[in-house]
Amino acid sequence: MYVAVKGGEKAIDAAHAWLAEERRGPEDVAELSVDQIKGQLKLAVNRVMAEGSLYDPDLAALAIKQARGDLIEAIFLIRAYRTTLPRFGGSEPVDTEAMACDRRVSATFKDAPGGQVLGPTFDYTHRLLDFKLAADGEVPSAPERAEAPETKPHIMSFLDREDLIQPEPEGAETPPDLTREPLELPAARPLRLQSLTRGDEGFILGMAYSTQRGYARNHAFVAELRIGACAVEMGIPELGFAIELGEVELTECETVNQFQGSKTEPPQFTRGYGLVFGMCERKAISMALVDRALRWKELGEDNVGAPAQDEEFVLYHADNIQATGFLEHIKLPHYVDFQSELELIRKLRREAMGQVRQEAAE
Amino acid sequence: MDGSGDPNAARKAWLSVLAKAQAADVAALWAEAGYAPDHEVLRAPEIGAVMVRGRAGAVGAPFNLGEMTVTRCSVRLASGEVGHGYVQGRGKDHAMQAALTDALMQTADAVAVENAIVTPLRNAAEARRTTRAAKAAATKVDFFTMVRGED
């Protein structure tokens, strides 16, 4: 039974007015500007762009402000906005080899051409609170070193030359798009990668961690992790040629994994891949590990029943907007649903109690 | 970029510079140059999205990474040249100024327009890139081998 109920408009208006006031916070403290969020909370902005699946730092910063710092709420706002935009087309696949790297490290080769470039990393910090930041934000400027531009070839290309790494198969020029077609299983790798790159960082991290702890163990080395700017190129119909439409910051992680060989494949290293909008290193590494775990079927490995091998489990639960939508809806009024449950349980109790009384009387 | 024998190379290059430029930089240069060519708007500035793609393992099958915001606009000058602006982000003025610049770059004033708008934008982009590259280079690890203790 469905009964429409009206009411609560005044309460809702008052709640929203109070929300706006709480969002603003104490008025004797300066208001946060969108530019401040964009410039100083950049990693939060990056996460909102990656999981909101829309690269626009200004919008992501605005969403974070509006959501009072609740990143999933901000991602929700971005996803909602995204649906209002006409799609002009799809880009050429980005050329990550040509990335202008802020950071580029390899855990497998010390002397990689192009070198180990640490970039603005939290690694090697002592994780001690810096109380100077509570006082003033003055920082010395970062040192610079003039250097002739140096190419940074993908580390994987070295293993590729020796046939030690499994080659990457070609695919359709226009990949499947889960924002246009509902996600159906089994999902080909391009669809899995799209789902993982916009998936919840915490969920993907947990799944990746489970593979490291032994659930579908596939011991991963980070062959390369690179972060930097890549040009986005797209063919423009009215021009008849492609132009660079813009530049996006990306984090790319390539893992090399042990592989003993299988019935169909010779012993060689296999690969996992992570590519994420912005500087999202934890997410990119996690994505690469989960990508590798999900590839068990195409590599002829055994399904050991690990959660990270189960594409239905991973892909259907990775999206935090779907998850939070379904989860949070249960707090909204279910008065009528619950009323019927209440009546049912009362009836069952009446019957059960009646039976007990009858047995006692006999 | 240049000298590749591609007849569109020059136009592709300036359109790419305009697309990737900071909207504020374009606006400032446009205002300074004071251009106000007679034109007709063929497509008013429109905000949309482009699906950015990557490749599995950097070299394999393409996949959809996520969208980026793009604004586009088309104009025709009174003298007939058609200009297209496709720019990153949601800058309607940026897209309009890019389209007008593209059109002006096809006229006899191309050299002046290049000097006033395109070259400063290219230099600004190059300067940003060089500064970041220099900061990155300063964080490059110089390995050295410790002298072994045993004989």
- Averaged pLDDT score across all residues of chain A: 92
Res. A226: pLDDT tops 50: yes
The per-residue pLDDT for range A89-120, each reduced to its tens digit, is: 999 999 999 999 999 999 998 888 889 999 99
The per-residue pLDDT for range A340-360, each reduced to its tens digit, is: 999 999 999 999 988 888 888
Contact A56 B69 (CB under 8 A): yes
Distance from CA of A352 to the nearest CA of B (A): 57
Contact A115 B50 (CB under 8 A): no
- Is A288 in CB contact (< 8 Å) with chain B? no
Q: What percent of chain A has pLDDT over 90?
A: 70
A94 close to A248: Cβ distance less than 8 angstroms: yes
The per-residue pLDDT for range A187-220, each reduced to its tens digit, is: 999 999 999 999 999 999 999 999 999 998 778 9
Per-residue model confidence (pLDDT) at position B143:
82
Q: What percent of chain A has pLDDT over 70?
A: 97
Contact A168 B19 (CB under 8 A): no
- Is A111 in CB contact (< 8 Å) with chain B? yes
Distance from CA of A122 to the nearest CA of B (A): 13
The per-residue pLDDT for range A31-80, each reduced to its tens digit, is: 999 999 999 999 999 999 999 999 999 999 999 999 999 999 999 999 99
What is the dihedral angle through the alpha carbons of B15, B17, B19, B23, rounded to the nearest 10 degrees? -130
Per-residue model confidence (pLDDT) at position A354:
87
- Is B15 in CB contact (< 8 Å) with chain A? yes
The per-residue pLDDT for range B108-151, each reduced to its tens digit, is: 999 999 999 999 999 999 999 999 999 999 999 988 766 666 65
Flag the least confident range among A15-29, A83-97, A333-347. A333-347
* Interface pTM, i.e. ipTM: 0.93
Position with higher pLDDT, A14 vs A258: A14
A127 close to A165: Cβ distance less than 8 angstroms: no
What is the β-pairing status of strands A241-257 and A270-277?
Answer: antiparallel
Residues from chain B contacting residue A154 (CB–CB below 8 Å): 58-59
| Positions of chain B with pLDDT lower than 50, given as ranges | 1-3
Residue type, A83: T
